[in-house]
Structure formats: structure tokens, C-alpha cells
Chain A
Amino acid sequence: MEIDYAKAGLKVGLEIHQQLNTQEKLFCSCKPELFKEEPEITFLRRLRPTQSELGQVDPAAFFEFQKGIKIRYEANRATSCLVEMDEEPPHPLNMDALEVVLTAALMMNMQPIDEVHVMRKTVIDGSNTTGFQRTCIIASDGWIKVGEKIIPMQAASLEEDAARKTGTEDGGKTIRYRIDRLGIPLIEVATAPVIYSPMEAQEVAFAIGRILRDTGKVMRGLGTIRQDLNVSLPNGALIEIKGVQELELISKVVEYEVQRQLGLIQVKEELRSRGIKAEALTDEFVDVSEVFRQTKCKVIRKALDKKQSAMAVKLAGFTGLLKRELMPDFRVGTELSDRAKFWGRVGGVFHTDELPAYGVTAEEVEALRKTVGASEGDAVVFVADTEENILDALKAVVERAREALAGVPAETRTAKGDGTTRYMRPRPGAARMYPETDIPPTLITAELVERIRSNLPEPAEKKQARLMTQYDLNEKLANQLIDSEYGVLFEAIVKETGVAATTVAVFLTEALKSLRRDGVQVENVTDEQITEIFSGVGSGELVKEAVADVFVWLSKNDGKNLQDAVGALGLKMFSKAELAKLVDHVIAENRQSVDQMGKNAFGMLMGIVMKEVRGKADPGLVSALLRERLK
């Protein structure tokens, strides 16, 4: 489907979050690292929705609380202290983190705030032990240039990252979160909603990412950067899409969201032309367990065997609409099903637009329709589960069906790896922010701003030109370096190890890109390890041909160093003496040929020796030794 986005009135705003590479977390002295081992400490909590200053309670939060949702937190001593456990008040704001945000903000031409006030943003899904995320605005009202267009930047904020979900227990009633990530400083940068096409959204995100990398103080790798999109259409709604992890996916996510909204608008119009009113969609749930007493459908069978039941609801006038595709592999029925999963904790719903199928027979569908009194134009939705879950699920289904009459419901969605999005939760109420009184306001003095302004990292264009002249790189390589996450590391390695700039640049750009494509976990190898590898090349312990092999080995072997890799891969270099011995041996073995060919035997001998020592000896040295012996 070719869409004219300008005509459709698309508006996109971006919020980019990236973890900062500081020594400590934002509000305590724990290391900003994750752990993979079993947790040393666990504790169980409940979060209770509190009234905001305006007396409003987040509906999703209140619902979860009513359902008795518990959270089991996992921690270890290296990455969490009492602050993350919400057993101790936060320490003062990490000033290093503030300086990184200020740096990025000044690069985006923003105005620093005079006095920073940390706020509590209510987040009650368990991802924050406190029930709120601490966040503060550091600067506002800037701009960046993307191509020829000026993109206004609304604000740069500093906030704490959240705990990460590691699973659920007890049929979804207990959610597990690991608090290692909680408190890692994040920069959040938000643009105004002035982006008008999917591709432009991606380009702007790319440009912002480049500036953040230029600070040299942001983390890299999967999970360290997260893009949220605010997508709106004039007759649709403002949809908040959370957690797009890959830059390349942004344009697709926007494209799909526009398709989804246009599709929902069509559904609205069709419902209107069918004369369906909200009153026709009622919470009349009918027990249909009897219909499926003999069913071959495994899902329903399993539920009924557990003495659970099956209940159905009629959606007046919806027949044929539920199978309408809104995004690839995503139909109007999926919208209903997602709501049922969220509010009713069920695995999904069945609806008559997709039946007979899944072992449900035409006879059963007929009986089902009859039991709920559905006429030809009506769709029927049903669920098999516990009664509590069914009631919550079907209520949510009817609610969503009513919303279809109005078009696109405003909600928060989460991005999937294929670019489609799924329902995440309702849009939180406006009154989510209140002051974090445990942290005194922090001044951003004119002196601090001046110091940072006079030490800003060079902007990308300037840096590219400098890399080309200073390191004799071609334009393409210089460009790739700037766009990679390794621009800063490149210069450090060249300076420290003396390895040829082109060798380092090619490895950090093209080689890493292809390794990543081959599935190598590139982010597992630290800057220190990469530097160590090139130090090895510089000192002659390693040939440059072996760099990739060592890198791959290190990516698979946590906590090991260059020596371990060299040992494990059998890359120990031949010493000059050993090489000399080998050369002598090869000459002796091929005495006859050498005598016949004289100096012309070089090529052949070189081939034999190198076959033996490839990756473990510098070819230059072999050739020198060979020539000397052949004289």
C-alpha cells in the first residue's frame, strides 16, 4: 500500500534513551552492570497506587493492584545496594552523568536549566522498586540540523533506568524483575512532533544517535539504546510506541502504525455504515462450556478438563471485521485478543471470523452462535480459562470493540522485532510527576556550562575531515567510523598501539559489521579487550590476520584475556630463532630443488613455510630470513 504521508497528516516525535557510561549509578555507588548468575538476594513486594497531587490514580496500576499482583525482585551484591532495594533513600545526583547530558544538550543547541529538580514519575508495573522513576530535565529548547531541515529539540533529561523483567510465576500473578539495571543513568532526548515521514523519523534518530556517540560517554550494544516514538494521524490518535531497539526498524514501525490507524479508521466508518451503536455492545457474557463438551480443540479441552469454563460474548455487527488485517499477521481480532491478554491474563481469545479452525468445528460454531443469540452480522468472541480471568478478558474485549466505533484508541504500544506493535497498556494519566523530595535541587552554574561548552566534542563533519587528514583514511572509512560506536576508541587504539590506522579502522567498521552479521555477540568484547588485541599486534605478539579470530573467541569466553585467546587458538607466535630453525629445516628438506632453482626457489619455499606458520608469524620476517639463507 503506497501511502502519501504528508496527505495523511502524519506527525512523529522521537524520544531517544541511551545508557550513560559512568563509573557509578545515578543515585548510588553501585556499578552500572548486569549480572547473569543466580540472584544472591530476592524479596517480594507489592506496589500500591497512590493518589497523585491531583487525586488521580493510574487505571492500569489500580487494576493490577486489585488483582493482587506481586513482584519478586532479584539482586546481587555487586550491582545493587539498599538504594535499589528501596531500603535506603537515594544519594545525591551523580554529577558525571549530569555533565554527559549537559554535553549532549549543548551539542543540540539547548538551553540548560538553572536549577535541576528531580521528579518522581509514577511507574507501577514493578519495574521500579519505589513505584516511580526518578527523572529530571537538564536542558530544553534546542535544535539539530538533519539534512537541510532544522529539527527542534524539546528537552534533554537525565533519568534512572528501570529493573528488567526476567519472568513470571504463579500464572502471571507474580512478576520477576532483576534490579541490576535499575539506577543506571539514562539520557532522554525528545524532539518536537515535526517529523512527517517514516524515513525522516529514522534519519533524525540516526542523527541524534551520532551526537550521543560523539560525547564518548554512552554505552553501546543491544539494550543500551531505546527509541520511543509518538505517532499521530489527524483522524487517528496519538500512539506512544515504546522500546524500538534497532534504528533500522524505526521507519518500518512508523509505516505499520500508519497502516494500523488507517485500517482502524476504515473499520470505524464501516461500523457506522452498518449502523452499530455503543449501546449494542454489552457486557452480556454467556457460559458456552456445554457447546464444547466434546470438543477436539486442545486449548478449550485443556481448560474444561481443569474444571475451568468457556464463556462468550456477542459483538453486534462485527462479523467480517475481526479478520481485517491491520499490519502483517495482525488483525482487528488481534487488537481484542491483546486487550484480553493484558486485562484478563488469558492466553488469547477465539472469534467467529477465524472459525471453524484450531479443532473447533462448524457445528460447534453454529451451536455457539445459537447459545449467545448471534445473528448473521454479529461476531462472537469466547475464552476458556478461570472465571475471574474470563470476566476480565471479555470485559476488555467489549471495551475495545466499543472503542472501534470511535476509531483509534490512544494507548501505549510496544514494538516487536518485526516492526509491528502490540498493546502494552493504556496511556498513563497526565498527573504522574511529583517532586523527589529526598534529593535537594542541583544548580547548573554558569561556570559549569562554560567549562563544558568550551570542551565540547568536535561535531561529526569536522571530525570526519580531521580523521581523513590526520590518519590518512578515505572518506568512506572516516564516515563509517563516525557512524560506528567505535569512533572514540579508534583514535585511542591508534595512539596507544601504533598499529596502522587503516588496519584499525577497517576492523572496527567493516570487519565488526560482518562479524555481527555472522551472529557474533560483538558487544561482549570490551574496549579494553579490543585495545589489548591491537597492542598485541603492535608489539608483534599477534599478526593482524588473527585479530578477528581472537575477537570472536573473546566474545564467546567471558572474563578471558588476549593471552588466553592466543593459547586456546594456538596462535602463539614463532620466535625469530624458531622461525630460523624452521626455515633451515625446510631448505634442508628441499635441498635438491634449492640447488636446482637457486634464488628462484624462494616462492616455493615461502609457500611451504607460510603454510606451516600462517597466523603465527609475520610474513615479512619469514621472507627476510628465507632470502638471507638463500644468498
Chain B
Amino acid sequence: MSKKAESSGYKGEALSALTKAGCQVGDVIRVTSKEKTYEGILIPRSETGDTEHVVVKLKSGYNVGVHVTPNVKIEKVGKGTKPSFASPPLPEQKPELPKAVILSTGGTIASRVDYRTGAVRSALSANDLYGVVPELSDVARVKTEIVFSIYSENLTQKHWSQLAQTVAEHINQGAEGVVIAHGTDTMAYTAAALSFALQNLPVPVILVGAQRSSDRPSSDAATNLIAAVQAATRGPFAEVGLAMHETPSDTAIVVNRGTKVRKCHTSRRDTFEPVNATPIARVENNEVIMLTDYYQKRDAAKKFVVKPEFSEAVALVKFHPGLDPAVIDWHVERGCNGILLEGSGLGHVSKYCFDAVSNAVKRGVVVALASQCIWGRVNMNVYDTGRDLLNLGVIPLEDMFPETALVKLMWVLGQTSDPEEAKKLLKTNIAGEFSPRTLPQEIGVKGDE
């Protein structure tokens, strides 16, 4: 019994009072103090809550926290039902529709209220998602699989490898489009990783997330998911893309290239911005509209290559005024094979870092540079500092923004341990991560609509 009370988040005074009264979460209880009496269902306590209050759901539906003191009497009045979530029935599959796979990794697109922390938690399985968004049954025959159930900030290179292999298996089994439900925080990193790992794709692989959790009526999860499945099964392209809201409206979902997309706002629905690129497609009114001619074509006959290895010995060092060059030394000492410098402006780090950079290169570490400006292209020929860095052996990474550049470095060093070969691979355009031209309309952050 007490075990159950513990797992309900109660601690200290509140826990012992509840245990003494023989109350479990879900029971109807009565809490009486000198001035007042509350009766209702005992609700689990958030773990971050204090130890002195019990939470009761009143008949009116409101939750209230009641202070537990030695003078407060708690009684069990009746046994209640435990709060639980029942999966809705799955819709029927229509045989004429294309086959899609939805892989779930956790995150806001698949989440429920969590009493444990009092926060939103990923809890819906990919299956639940399908049941909750029955419209999907008019778009595709959907197969679902839970690959992980973790927040996106807990994903690492190992997860990328596993995810790439899972995607490959499904494509090899005949999936005509793959959708990956992913937490938005690191979704762009995963998109870049899969872009490098899954080469010569025959069908689209679309990452999708939500900025408003799926437990609320205004969630963007369903709209994004439906559009992602539409893009994955009907899009004429075959690349890793990321599908999210284009504006704060629910009208259009935009698919961006996995290597050229970045989370740019902490909370808005249209947080993902194309960086130095044009989006691939827009999904509007159930139509997939291509926005560029520059894309890899869908073709089931393509010879698909999977290269899912990523190095874990890669570091990102952001240059800032006053950066201690010992940070670079420390990474080298720790056995780092690659360092991505996030330089200022056109691609600079201060002269006082030169010794550390030079030492790293001499020790066989691949040192590359992308700009912390995010938008625009690195050009290290304009100023002395840039030319000096080139001479030290730093590799400029064109118009890749730091996160994609970092993922690419991890992937490159997962493919080869030879620094020279790595440098060559690093400069090769693998998955549209370099664009030869930067157009004026693609510069800058979107303002207010």
C-alpha cells in the first residue's frame, strides 16, 4: 500500500498522514481541519511539490492543495477509480492507400499530462497517436512502432544510429513513406543525422513534432502529423525532411530539408526555419506543393545506402570574447577526433586561441568552422584572422550552420578515422547541406506576420 502512495509523488508529512489513514490515489477522501473540510478524490502529487500538502479533486472538478498539520484529520470515505487513459479504437485500414510507417521517439507530439512531475510527459504510443488522429486512415495504411520513449534532449548518436537502421528496415520492407514523431528540441539534429546516414533514399523520411502538447485542443500535433504522413506518402521527393507549421495559423505545414532547418523560437508553432535554403514543400488543403526544383526524386528502384555510424569523440566550441583556449586543449587531451569551432562573423576566433587550434590540428584532430551568425556563408579570405586560421588547417564549412556542421563532423568521423579522408568527406556535399547560392529572400529571421 505505502509503496503505491510513494509512487504517487507524496513524501514526508503528507505521505505518512495518507499512509496512516490508509488512503491511496484515486480514493475518495475527507480532509478536516479546524475551519474547513474538503472531500474529493486523492490526486497524485507533483514530485517537485512540497511535502506538506495533499491534493484533492473536488466534486466541482477543481484541484485544491490542503495543508497537512498534526491537527488535520484525513479519512478514507470511499474507493474511487484511478485516473487512467484508455486508448480509443483504431480506425480501419483502406487497402488502396499507400503504406506509411510512423515511428515514435517521444516528445510533445505524443504526450499526456504527467502527475509524477506535474508536467507534460510523452506517454502516447505511436498506436495511440493513430487512434487519436483518425483522419490518418484516409491518408495511408499506417504501421506504427515505438523506437524510443524519451525526451529529445536525451537522445545521443547511438539513438541516431538505431533510428537510421529502423527506418532502413521499414523502407526495405516496402514502406512508401516514413514519419518519425520526435521532440522538437533536438529534432533538427536528428534530421541532419538521418540525412547523412540514409543516402540515396527511395522514399521520403519526414520528422514531425509539436510545440503544443497533444493533450490540449489547440495542439499542432495532429495537423503536423497528418501533413507529415501526406508528404511522406505523396511527396515526389525522397529526402529527409522536417514538417512543422509555417506560421502561427493551422493552415499550412512546411517541409524543410533535414540539413537546412533549425529550431529558432522557444515556443512558437512556426519555430523551425529554413536556414540558407528554400523549403522543399508545403502541405496545404491536403495537397503537397513543391517549392523548389532542387530535390532528390522519389524512386522505389533506387539503390539505398545506410551509413549509420557516428563518432562520439567530437566537440563543439563556441567562440566568445574571453574564451579560454584551455577548453580546446582539454578536448584534445580527452581524445577528441574532431572539433567544430562556432566562429564569429565570417568565420573567426581570436588570435589567443591560435596556439590551441594549431596544436589540435597537429595532433590529428579535424578542426572545422561554422559561423555563429547562423544565416549566411563563412568566408575566411576576407580578414587576416580568417586567412591565419585557414593556414592553421581549419576547414571552413560554407553555409552550414553550427548544429548541422557538428552532426556532419560526427558522421564523417564515424565513417573514417583518417583525418585527410575526413576533411575530404567534410567538404563533399552529401545531403544538400551546402547550397552554392545564397538568395536574398533566404536571409534573416522571420519577423512578425
A residues near B (Cβ < 8 Å) are 41, 43-51, 53, 55, 61, 70, 82, 85-89, 111, 113-117, 119-122, 124, 129-132, 135-137, 140-141, 154-155, 157, 430-435, 437, 440-441
Stretch of B5-13, B187-195, B212-220, B383-391 at the chain-chain interface: B212-220
B120-A53 in contact (CB<8A): no
Pick the contact of A43: B36, B57, B215, B248 (CB < 8 A): B248
Complex-state Cα separation, A121 to B118, whole angstroms: 17
SS of B interface (majority): loop
Q: A155-B60, A432-B61 are in contact. Are A51 and B85 (CB under 8 A)?
A: yes
Residue of A nearest to B84 (CB): A53
Complex contacts, A137 vs chain B, CB 8 Å: 58, 60, 62, 64
Cβ of B91 under 8 Å from chain A: no
Residue of B nearest to A47 (CB): B217
Complex contacts, B119 vs chain A, CB 8 Å: 437
Task: For residue A24, give the distance in angstroms from its CB to the closest CB of chain B.
Answer: 19
Task: For residue A621, give the distance in angstroms from its CB to the closest CB of chain B.
Answer: 57
Work out how many contacts link A and B, with CB atoms closer than 8 A. Answer: 129
Complex-state Cα separation, A141 to B120, whole angstroms: 32
B53-A115 in contact (CB<8A): yes
Task: For residue B276, give the distance in angstroms from its CB to the closest CB of chain A.
Answer: 25
Complex contacts, B62 vs chain A, CB 8 Å: 117, 119, 135-137, 155, 157, 433
Complex-state Cα separation, A135 to B113, whole angstroms: 17
Q: Produce 1/0 per residue, B254-278, CB < 8 A to A.
A: 0000000000001111000000000
Pick the contact of A440: B118, B223, B448 (CB < 8 A): B118
A89-B215 in contact (CB<8A): no
B217-A82 in contact (CB<8A): no
Chain B positions 197-223 with a Cβ under 8 Å from a chain A Cβ:
211-212, 214-219, 222-223
Cβ of B83 under 8 Å from chain A: yes
A131-B218 in contact (CB<8A): yes
Pick the contact of A441: B49, B214, B216, B218 (CB < 8 A): B49
A87-B267 in contact (CB<8A): yes
Task: For residue A75, give the distance in angstroms from its CB to the closest CB of chain B.
Answer: 10
Q: A43-B247, A45-B250, A49-B217 are in contact. Are A111 and B114 (CB under 8 A)?
A: no
Complex contacts, A113 vs chain B, CB 8 Å: 64-65
B449-A43 in contact (CB<8A): yes
Q: A82-B267, A87-B267 are in contact. Are A48 and B217 (CB under 8 A)?
A: yes
Q: Which residue of B35, B217, B248 has the most chain A CB atoms within 10 A of its CB atom?
A: B217
Task: For residue A193, give the distance in angstroms from its CB to the closest CB of chain B.
Answer: 13
Complex-state Cα separation, A289 to B7, whole angstroms: 65
Complex contacts, A88 vs chain B, CB 8 Å: 266-268
Complex-state Cα separation, A41 to B247, whole angstroms: 12
Pick the contact of B217: A70, A124, A136 (CB < 8 A): A124
Q: List 19 A-B contacts (CB under 8 A).
A: A43-B449, A45-B249, A51-B85, A53-B85, A61-B217, A82-B268, A87-B267, A87-B268, A113-B65, A114-B65, A114-B67, A116-B64, A119-B62, A129-B218, A131-B218, A431-B61, A432-B61, A437-B114, A441-B46
Complex contacts, A86 vs chain B, CB 8 Å: 212, 218
Residue of A nearest to B59 (CB): A430
**B-side interface size class:** 35 or more
Complex-state Cα separation, A43 to B63, whole angstroms: 33
Task: For residue B202, give the distance in angstroms from its CB to the closest CB of chain A.
Answer: 33
Complex-state Cα separation, A121 to B62, whole angstroms: 9
A114-B35 in contact (CB<8A): no
Q: Produce 1/0 per residue, B93-129, CB < 8 A to A.
A: 0000000000000000000011000111000000000
B449-A50 in contact (CB<8A): no
Complex-state Cα separation, A589 to B65, whole angstroms: 84
Q: Which 10 A-B pairs have the closest CB atoms?
A: A131-B217, A115-B65, A433-B61, A114-B67, A117-B63, A47-B217, A44-B249, A111-B36, A137-B62, A43-B249
A132-B217 in contact (CB<8A): yes
Cβ of B15 under 8 Å from chain A: no
Pick the contact of B214: A46, A50, A114, A119 (CB < 8 A): A50
B88-A51 in contact (CB<8A): yes
Complex contacts, B441 vs chain A, CB 8 Å: none
Complex contacts, A89 vs chain B, CB 8 Å: 267
Pick the contact of A41: B60, B65, B449 (CB < 8 A): B449
Complex-state Cα separation, A43 to B36, whole angstroms: 46
Task: For residue A452, give the distance in angstroms from its CB to the closest CB of chain B.
Answer: 16
Complex-state Cα separation, A117 to B60, whole angstroms: 13
Complex-state Cα separation, A451 to B217, whole angstroms: 40
Complex contacts, A82 vs chain B, CB 8 Å: 267-268
A437-B120 in contact (CB<8A): yes
Complex-state Cα separation, A441 to B14, whole angstroms: 16
Complex-state Cα separation, A50 to B212, whole angstroms: 13
Q: Produce 1/0 per residue, B346-378, CB < 8 A to A.
A: 000000000000000000000000000000000
Q: Which residue of B48, B119, B267 has the most chain A CB atoms within 10 A of its CB atom?
A: B267
